[in-house]
Structure 1
Amino acid sequence: MSLQGTLTINTKDRGAAMGDLFGIFFEDLNHAADGGLYAELVQNRSFEFDPIDHPDYHALTAWEKVERGGGECEVRVQSELPLNNRNNNYAVIDIRAAGDGVGLMNQGFNTGIPVREGDTYFFSMYARRNSSFDVPVIITLEGLEGSIYSEANIVVASDQWTKYEARLTASATDYSGRLVLTTKGSGFLYLEMVSLFPARTFRNRLNGLREDIATLLAELRPKFMRFPGGCLIHDGSLNADDRDSMYRWKNTLGDVAERPARRNNWRYNQTLGLGYYEYFLFCEDIGAKPIPVVPGGSDPHHKRNVPLNELQPWIDEALDLIEFANGDASTPWGAIRAKLGHPEPFGLAYIGVGNEEVGEGFFERYAYFHRAIKAKHPAIKIINNSGPFASGEEYERGWRSARENGSDFVDEHYYQSPEWLLANHRRYDSYKADDPKVFLGEYASLGNTYYNALAEAAYMTGLERNAHVVGLACYAPLLCNVDYVNWKPDMIWFNNHEVFGTANYYVQKLFMHHQGDYALQVQAEGFEQPVQSESKPIAGMLAVGTEGGTVEYSQIKLINHVTGEIKELTDEKILVTDTEEDRANGHARRIAELEAIDCEHYTLSMTARRKAWGRGFMIHFGKVDDRNELLWRIGGWHNNDSIISSQINGTSCVLTHCLFDVEDDVGYHLLLEVCGRKIRAYINGVLVADTEDLIPVIEPLYYSSSIEEATGDIILKVVNVQDAQIRTGIVLEGQGEKETVMIEISKLSGYSLEDENSFEQPERIVPANQTLHLQGSAFEYEIPRHSLTVMRVKRSLNDTDVKVTE
């Protein structure tokens, strides 16, 4: 194959510092902590589950009463004499007849308690008894059919809360095991904080992390870790002592038995066993800089704001966190850290204030946080935010706030289709170097296929090329327990005994391992022009609808600006309804089609009125089928938004967003203008959206280069999303013509775009490695179709013959 183009790298002219560009983001959703990274095997260990966490929860969720061989008991939960004032509930076993044993069994997470033959587990519990109870409590690891894999006896010797511990070593492997506590005594036995940990945790830390998941994270070699969220940091009550409060980091320190149970806003219980001290330790263990995020006194989910005259304690909490991380042992919070076992500071360099907030309430309060932090800790980099979407009114408000306050970073979030990433891969080319830098704190292409990963790799080369404006970036979400899914896609999937990285994981790993320290300029010459898909005007069916409510549409009119035709689409009011009652009785009508249109320029106008609460108005346009359309949704999630989105092959991405609340039984005049692929939308004559649905322009290759300072290695990343290999010349400008070099190559290629990793095939998609030895500053290489290729050019001491080693 003849040469199709050349990439020339200027190896001597260093550009922007790459800094801490690529890292990870941990949020406790999808049971990422409890039942996931946090190694505790007992679910609901302190009997604190509550309907406030999830409507199906109760204090004995995940527990079963055990009555064997004629045994009889009553099990209940009480709170009259608690272990402490933060952990109120405890289980009471009222023994009526001992039989062959009575007590409690814990089901664990997923299929049960996973045990492996020969492995040791640390058991602990707090217990007390009444005076008539005088026999041991038998602790067993059992199979579903009753096989006993390990057993220990504990004598509860006091009527006061006392901690008891035991070691259990499994005699078999079973991933559906149960932890069983039984006794043959009489009287009352009281149990609290029943815990089981594998002895082997990551770095063998007590109260530690699940080794296989933590190892997969460590192997990424991330530059930073953002934690603990995400939406969970700001969704909740303003009172730190409330069960459903916003995430307050001070509640997560100290003895796990004294950490209060918390409602996780992803609708489950959060023990806080994985707390801020553990987060900092993990960051240190894997060499990642910590980026904690604190609430900014505003809950956009429920439109709560801390009064400005009550904001100082929230600001103090952020300042105390910095002292906890960086203060020496003579400071109040540095002393607390030292007492926990870490006298040395953690070296905090960044802090985020808020997450995806929208509305003036947050940004007014952010200014107070920013001023206080910079006054006391001027070296700390402060991260502002720009809402949950890539553009629109609130996005612009976030950037205005960042410029006005002098924020160091702006946290951008967006989850988009692969096509959007390809269409917008030059997004940051036009950002200004003197603005705050971008922290791309959450992004993904909404899928775990090889195609998704490839589109993300192409987009990431744009992040590297623009390291002068993009300072930090992390894929999200990070972890998902396959049996507790809140959000898809996710980088790493696991159950109670297995874990695998997706194709997206291996793309992230290649970029993290080969980030480099300074960007290098790459010049592309001789390639064919970018391939632009036919940019057809937005055409298709027009329709109106709703979700979860009832809406009345009237006075629907279509103007064809090409022909001048004005058409009334209906003489009558159109009622669409999607209430639970209508769905139950078969009367639901969620969408009403109006007319198909294939026109360069048209306007659709109507009056809409919400008759029963739901997610407001839904105007469908360019509708080809149920998986391919554009949608204008007004009064959507939490009745808070006006959003225009594009759906391609079932994957939706938001083009623009602004705030808008819909009131019941109020008529709104809606006008949607479409010209080519440009879209404008008006509500009551006010422009609320001005956007464009871009069609991807497929580049011959996507590429970026950098240099690693410690080794002098030159790194080149090349992504080919086309269905043909491209023979490419690589020129190392500034490299000696007679110099011998070794080139280490890691690549992802040879996979179908639909391929995915799975529990059955966890390494179906993994990088392959290759080594070239050659002399000179130029060579040719065939970039495979549908591939990511990473080349690391190293000086070689081998002979000068060119050879390939697979």
Structure 2
Amino acid sequence: MGTQPALTVRTEERGAEIGDLFGIFFEDLNHAADGGLYAELVRNRSFEFDPIDHPDYHAFTAWEKVERGGSQAEISIGESHPLNGRNPHYAVIEIVAEGSGVGLMNQGFNSGISVKQGDRYLFSVFARRDASFHEPLTVTIEGKDGTVYGEAVVEVKSAEWTKYEAVITSNTADTDSRLVLLGKGQGKLYLDMVSLFPEKTYLNRPGGLREDIAKLLADLKPKFMRFPGGCLVHDGSLNPDDRNSMYRWKNTIGPVEQRPARRNNWRYNQTLGLGYYEYFQLCEDIGAKPIPILPGGYDPHHNRIVPIEELSPWIQDALDLIEFANGDASTTWGAIRAELGHPEPFGLEYIGIGNEEVGEPFFERYPYFHRAIKEKYPAMKVINSSGPFAAGTEYERGWQSAREHRSDLVDEHYYSSPEWFLANYHRYDNFKEDDPKVFLGEYASWGNTYYNALAEAAYMTGLEKNAHAVGLACYAPLLCNADYVNWKPDMIWFNNHEAYGTPNYYVQKLFMHHQGHQLLAIEASGLDAAPSNAKKPINGALTLETDRCSFRYWDIALVNDDNGELKELNGGLPCTLSDTEEDRRNGTKVRAIDLGETDWENYTITLKAQRISGPKGFNLAFGQTDGKNKRIWEFGGWQNQDSIIASHIDGRGSVLTQSLFNVEDHKEYDLKLEVSGRRIRTWINGRLCNVTEDTLPVIEPLYYSASYDRTTGDTIVKVVNVQDSPVNVDVVLEDWRKPLLNIDVHEMSGHSLDDENFFDAPDRVSPKRNQIRVQGNRFAYDFPKHSITVFRVK
């Protein structure tokens, strides 16, 4: 009879401090701010929407002219006498015939403006007019059919810009309502900054945050919040006054009507109503440490570079931000914070420079920021960048920079398949304690199913067990408006009146609520390893593919590296792929060509290629079993900046390694791809470019970690079972000094792997809680198949 498997927690053997490990990352994509967390109900409130934000935008986007009861008006956009120079546009309503009223209607976000019966809504507008000063401006919340749900009246009494405010109570609940402004009289009526907020915002802050979304964030109890991005931080022009500038924090504070509109690189408009002061305030409200990310004077998306001799203002921005957050009221920027309503410092401990940076220009500039910050604020923890992928030359460049300049943390990002996360569970086991710590600033498996959440939970036990090396980690993205999707998966989904957490959300919540302060030693014994296919070779179909480009190929060959057998692919003939705009118009596009397949385990593909035209490169797919399962060499990937090896499992991609590379027109390239078992290497014109291994998961019998909560004295044990069958073990707490074990159990189990949460089933996949009470220091437990279990032992 075999020994009963056991998980043994040594309750007196404590390890690394866990610190601020699990937090959140806010970036304004998917309309996360405007139309989301920021509770403003009016879309395009300052008439600043512009084609620079999105080709379909114009100054009257989301607005309609209203003419009632025989009225007639001409509407236009003015800019000769603006409210302020940073938002120069405003609406001009020329009343031709007053009838029952003329004006404008705002459609809001999503299907309309969502109102609740009996709730109060705070309306404000900056207005002026040139005649009929005693004629009222009627403001109504209406249904699509014109039914009035609530009304207020203001009198625009001046020819100069003046702010007018009113409160409207809705007598009806409707998710599709409109805001209507109607005027009478003669002459012209001028409007700007038309605003409608629910009175009930998170913590009842005027002009604040949408209550349901903010509560979902607060309920996580995150240790930190990274903000405001993301790619939107560094994607933009170098001039802070440009409409499409990089994200410059000083533009985001002060009165909202004076904050300039900004092009969001996710192709919409940012009002910046949710700015740096509000971010710091949110962090304080939910108990999260703020982690602001600033641009480092380099835009890798468009190769915009601040000359080093002109870097001083950018560095000063970082120093001023720290003073804004931490300086007392006697300092310049501390006084500005106090004037905004927060005399006490925010207690900033971390600051990041750059986001997903690639290329020498950033790493030439980073040291200037690092030195200046450390000289003035030696205790500030400075975060470096290691690019957008989990491995490769730019990843290594980031780590080299961090070690050389003694960065406190290095920001790693990766989005991969669930299988990648399981295969890389031990990723940080051998990271050194005296190196800069890992800040896993963005990560997710592709999807919001229970399977994704299960794989992420398993991986997170590995992050926690390696707290000696991993300092911070946050899932991304955080928020998504279901009608404005830029990216998925996302942790929280919402529309204009509902919000719900995904299975991924509930995993994050479990780990944040039950993080603990210090690791405890834990080990498994007597468990049988699950079978694996880790030695499965990479073979199958071979395909060349291109997108929006035209390429010529020749000398395409396949060599068996075990016996030297040579096969000429494509019948030994040259070929051309062409997918240009002209090809698409003419119906002549040829995007892919099948090169056959191989069942060899060790082989080399060679070919010559030349780009005739196009913006990027091509893909060589290999090891294909079907369209969703393959490996790809991306030659000139992303914005024609990369050579990438990627693995796709069930349509979910993982970048295995990346190096910088740019394809040029009419240049001949001699290319070689070598596959040796699971090891992959590429050469471009004789230069070794990529080296990686496509590791398959070796499923652990259980994934687990343990920690000590210094505040409560509790011992916390997390266990994840990704297997298709339950696992029965004895859980043993060595050196437990109490006669009883009082255990709170939080568990996610009993779900299909493809289960998801939705608006009509927001907590279908969520934890259940129960209690166990046993004598002694051990208890038997059946960990269900596909389960996530947290024990909190009191």
TM-score (ref. length: structure 1): 0.97
Asked if structure 2 preserves the Cα contact closer than 8 Å seen for 1:545 and 1:551, the reply is: no
- 2:661 maps to 660
User: C-alpha deviations, 1:648-696, integer Å up to 9, x for none?
Assistant: 0010110000110100111111100001111000000101101011110
C-alpha distance 86-3 of structure 1, shift in aligned 2 (>3 A): farther
User: C-alpha deviations, 1:369-394, integer Å up to 9, x for none?
Assistant: 00000000000000001000000000
Q: Aligned ranges for residues 645-724 of structure 1 at < 5 Å?
A: 645-724=646-725
Q: Aligned ranges for residues 726-741 of structure 1 at < 5 Å?
A: 726-736=727-737, 739-741=739-741
- 1:79 maps to 79
Asked if structure 1 preserves the Cα contact closer than 8 Å seen for 2:338 and 2:344, the reply is: yes
- 1:800 maps to none
- 2:452 maps to 452
Asked if structure 1 preserves the Cα contact closer than 8 Å seen for 2:239 and 2:245, the reply is: yes
- 2:41 maps to 41
**Which residue type is aligned with residue 442 of structure 1?**
E
Is 1:370 the equivalent of 2:370? Answer: yes
Q: Aligned ranges for residues 174-253 of structure 1 at < 5 Å?
A: 174-253=174-253
- 2:410 maps to 410
Query: Using the alignment, how far apart are the partners of 1:704 and 1:41 within structure 2?
Result: 44
User: C-alpha deviations, 1:279-319, integer Å up to 9, x for none?
Assistant: 00000000000000011111110111110000011000000
Query: Using the alignment, how far apart are the partners of 1:494 and 1:545 within structure 2?
Result: 37
Asked if structure 2 preserves the Cα contact closer than 8 Å seen for 1:531 and 1:699, the reply is: no
The alpha-carbon deviation at position 119 of structure 1 amounts to: 0.5
Secondary structure at 1:208 match in 2: coil
Secondary structure at 1:483 match in 2: coil
Which stretch of the first structure deviates more once superposed, 244-253 or 611-620? 611-620
The alpha-carbon deviation at position 131 of structure 1 amounts to: 2.6
Is 1:432 the equivalent of 2:441? Answer: no
The alpha-carbon deviation at position 2 of structure 1 amounts to: 9.2
Asked if structure 1 preserves the Cα contact closer than 8 Å seen for 2:534 and 2:695, the reply is: no
The alpha-carbon deviation at position 719 of structure 1 amounts to: 0.1
Asked if structure 1 preserves the Cα contact closer than 8 Å seen for 2:349 and 2:380, the reply is: yes
Asked if structure 2 preserves the Cα contact closer than 8 Å seen for 1:547 and 1:614, the reply is: no
Gaps of 5+ in 2: none
The alpha-carbon deviation at position 107 of structure 1 amounts to: 0.5
The alpha-carbon deviation at position 581 of structure 1 amounts to: 2.6
Asked if structure 1 preserves the Cα contact closer than 8 Å seen for 2:141 and 2:177, the reply is: yes
Query: Using the alignment, how far apart are the partners of 2:151 and 2:719 within structure 1?
Result: 56
User: C-alpha deviations, 1:243-288, integer Å up to 9, x for none?
Assistant: 0000000000100000000000000000000000000000000000
The alpha-carbon deviation at position 543 of structure 1 amounts to: 1.2
C-alpha distance 465-158 of structure 1, shift in aligned 2 (>3 A): same
- 1:579 maps to 580
Secondary structure at 1:399 match in 2: helix
**Which residue type is aligned with residue 495 of structure 1?**
N
- 1:804 maps to none
Query: Using the alignment, how far apart are the partners of 2:595 and 2:4 within structure 1?
Result: 49
Secondary structure at 2:399 match in 1: helix
Is 1:346 the equivalent of 2:385? Answer: no
Q: Aligned ranges for residues 60-75 of structure 1 at < 5 Å?
A: 60-75=60-75
The alpha-carbon deviation at position 45 of structure 1 amounts to: 0.2
- 1:762 maps to 762
Query: Using the alignment, how far apart are the partners of 2:509 and 2:282 within structure 1?
Result: 18
Secondary structure at 2:475 match in 1: coil
Which stretch of the first structure deviates more once superposed, 490-499 or 577-586? 577-586
Which stretch of the first structure deviates more once superposed, 34-43 or 546-555? 546-555
Query: Using the alignment, how far apart are the partners of 1:291 and 1:792 within structure 2?
Result: 29
User: C-alpha deviations, 1:101-152, integer Å up to 9, x for none?
Assistant: 1100000000000000000000000000003454111100000011100011
Query: Using the alignment, how far apart are the partners of 1:690 and 1:534 within structure 2?
Result: 19
Asked if structure 2 preserves the Cα contact closer than 8 Å seen for 1:389 and 1:412, the reply is: yes
Secondary structure at 2:750 match in 1: coil
- 1:642 maps to 643
Asked if structure 1 preserves the Cα contact closer than 8 Å seen for 2:328 and 2:335, the reply is: yes
Query: Using the alignment, how far apart are the partners of 1:669 and 1:198 within structure 2?
Result: 62
Identity in percent:
65
**Which residue type is aligned with residue 535 of structure 1?**
K
The alpha-carbon deviation at position 358 of structure 1 amounts to: 0.3
- 1:531 maps to 531
User: C-alpha deviations, 1:82-114, integer Å up to 9, x for none?
Assistant: 001111000000111111211000000000000
- 1:327 maps to 327
Query: Using the alignment, how far apart are the partners of 2:116 and 2:185 within structure 1?
Result: 31
The alpha-carbon deviation at position 343 of structure 1 amounts to: 0.4
- 2:310 maps to 310
Q: Aligned ranges for residues 549-568 of structure 1 at < 5 Å?
A: 549-568=549-568
The alpha-carbon deviation at position 710 of structure 1 amounts to: 1.2
Query: Using the alignment, how far apart are the partners of 2:566 and 2:763 within structure 1?
Result: 58
Secondary structure at 1:250 match in 2: helix
Is 1:422 the equivalent of 2:405? Answer: no
Query: Using the alignment, how far apart are the partners of 1:490 and 1:448 within structure 2?
Result: 7
The alpha-carbon deviation at position 416 of structure 1 amounts to: 0.4
The alpha-carbon deviation at position 13 of structure 1 amounts to: 1.2
Query: Using the alignment, how far apart are the partners of 1:277 and 1:4 within structure 2?
Result: 56
**Which residue type is aligned with residue 625 of structure 2?**
V
User: C-alpha deviations, 1:352-371, integer Å up to 9, x for none?
Assistant: 00000100100110000000
Query: Using the alignment, how far apart are the partners of 1:532 and 1:637 within structure 2?
Result: 33
Asked if structure 2 preserves the Cα contact closer than 8 Å seen for 1:84 and 1:258, the reply is: yes
Gaps of 5+ in 1: 795-806
Secondary structure at 2:619 match in 1: strand
User: C-alpha deviations, 1:48-105, integer Å up to 9, x for none?
Assistant: 0000000110000000000112111111101000001111000000111111211000
Secondary structure at 1:428 match in 2: coil
Query: Using the alignment, how far apart are the partners of 1:476 and 1:610 within structure 2?
Result: 36
Query: Using the alignment, how far apart are the partners of 1:263 and 1:309 within structure 2?
Result: 27
Secondary structure at 2:402 match in 1: helix
Asked if structure 2 preserves the Cα contact closer than 8 Å seen for 1:3 and 1:728, the reply is: no
- 2:277 maps to 277
The alpha-carbon deviation at position 530 of structure 1 amounts to: 4.1
- 1:443 maps to 443
Query: Using the alignment, how far apart are the partners of 1:755 and 1:590 within structure 2?
Result: 35
How large is the Cα RMSD of the aligned pairs?
1.1
Asked if structure 1 preserves the Cα contact closer than 8 Å seen for 2:534 and 2:697, the reply is: no
Is 1:137 the equivalent of 2:141? Answer: no
Residue-pair matches, total = 793
- 1:255 maps to 255
- 1:803 maps to none
Secondary structure at 2:607 match in 1: strand
**Which residue type is aligned with residue 186 of structure 2?**
S
The alpha-carbon deviation at position 184 of structure 1 amounts to: 2.4
C-alpha distance 554-224 of structure 1, shift in aligned 2 (>3 A): same
User: C-alpha deviations, 1:218-242, integer Å up to 9, x for none?
Assistant: 0000000000000000000000000
Asked if structure 1 preserves the Cα contact closer than 8 Å seen for 2:297 and 2:311, the reply is: yes
- 1:103 maps to 103
**Which residue type is aligned with residue 257 of structure 2?**
A
Asked if structure 2 preserves the Cα contact closer than 8 Å seen for 1:3 and 1:727, the reply is: no
Is 1:599 the equivalent of 2:595? Answer: no
Query: Using the alignment, how far apart are the partners of 2:2 and 2:675 within structure 1?
Result: 45
Secondary structure at 1:219 match in 2: helix
Asked if structure 2 preserves the Cα contact closer than 8 Å seen for 1:556 and 1:607, the reply is: yes
The alpha-carbon deviation at position 600 of structure 1 amounts to: 1.2
Query: Using the alignment, how far apart are the partners of 1:105 and 1:725 within structure 2?
Result: 59
Query: Using the alignment, how far apart are the partners of 1:2 and 1:22 within structure 2?
Result: 39
Query: Using the alignment, how far apart are the partners of 1:458 and 1:438 within structure 2?
Result: 18
Q: Aligned ranges for residues 752-791 of structure 1 at < 5 Å?
A: 752-791=752-791
Which stretch of the first structure deviates more once superposed, 597-606 or 584-593? 584-593
Query: Using the alignment, how far apart are the partners of 2:770 and 2:284 within structure 1?
Result: 32
Query: Using the alignment, how far apart are the partners of 2:707 and 2:472 within structure 1?
Result: 16
